[in-house]
């Protein structure tokens, strides 16, 4: 769970990249004289801001949610093995002969 929270905090890196790109788009717009190109540049900057807001809000949501965004394959495999072991050694059931401690129970 902690790894997910740390991974969600890395949403700041794409947000910083998007905002830096929008800054440079706006700086370049100051030097352009074509009105149509300026309008296109403003539209690109607004889209970059919106995508930065989307990435940041999804990172905040994932960090605050109780369930992880992704499941670790290793953890899923360990849960499956643990459930299998619990089923094989249920309380009250005799232990199999090849397992440690089987001699003690007989």
Report residue 88 as tokens: 């094989």
Would residue 6 count as lying in a domain?
A: no
**Is 4 a domain residue?**
no
**Residue 91 pLDDT exceeds 80:** no
In 1-106, which ranges are continuous DSSP H helix? 2-9, 12-31, 35-64, 73-88, 102-105
Answer yes or no: is pLDDT of 1 > 50: no
| C-alpha span between 6 and 10 (Å, rounded) | 7
Residue 28 within a domain: yes
For residue 93, tell me if it sits in a domain. Answer: no
Share of the chain above pLDDT 70, in %: 56
pLDDT at residue 46, rounded to an integer: 96
Let me know: does 8 contact 69? Beta carbons within 8 Å. yes
Residue 26 falls within a domain, yes or no?
yes
**What is the average pLDDT across 78-98?**
63
Is residue 40 a part of any domain in this protein?
Answer: yes
pLDDT per position as a tens digit, 20-48: 999 999 999 999 999 999 999 999 999 99
Mean pLDDT of the chain: 76
Q: Which two tokens stand for residue 80?
A: 């499956």
Number of domains within the chain: 1
Higher pLDDT: 10 or 88? It is 10
Residue ranges making up the domain that contains 15 = 11-84
Residue 97 sits at φ, ψ, to 5 deg, of -70, -25
pTM of the model as a whole: 0.57
For residues 52 and 21, give the distance between their C-alpha atoms in angstroms, rounded to a whole number.
11
Domain-located, residue 106: no
What pLDDT band is residue 103 in, cutting at 50, 70 and 90?
Answer: low
Q: How many CA atoms lie within 13 A of 38 on its CB side?
A: 7
> Is residue 25 in a domain?
yes
- What is the predicted pLDDT for the residue at 61? 81
């Amino acid at each position: 769970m902690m790894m997910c929270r740390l991974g969600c905090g890395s949403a700041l890196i794409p947000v910083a990249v998007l905002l830096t790109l929008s800054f440079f788009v706006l700086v370049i717009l100051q030097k352009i004289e074509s009105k149509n190109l300026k309008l296109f540049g403003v539209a690109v900057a607004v889209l970059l801001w919106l995508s930065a807001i989307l990435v940041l809000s999804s990172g905040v949501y994932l960090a605050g949610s109780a369930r992880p965004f992704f499941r670790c394959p290793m953890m899923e495999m360990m849960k499956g093995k643990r459930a299998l072991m619990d089923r094989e050694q249920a309380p009250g059931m005799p232990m199999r002969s090849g397992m440690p401690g089987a001699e003690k129970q007989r």
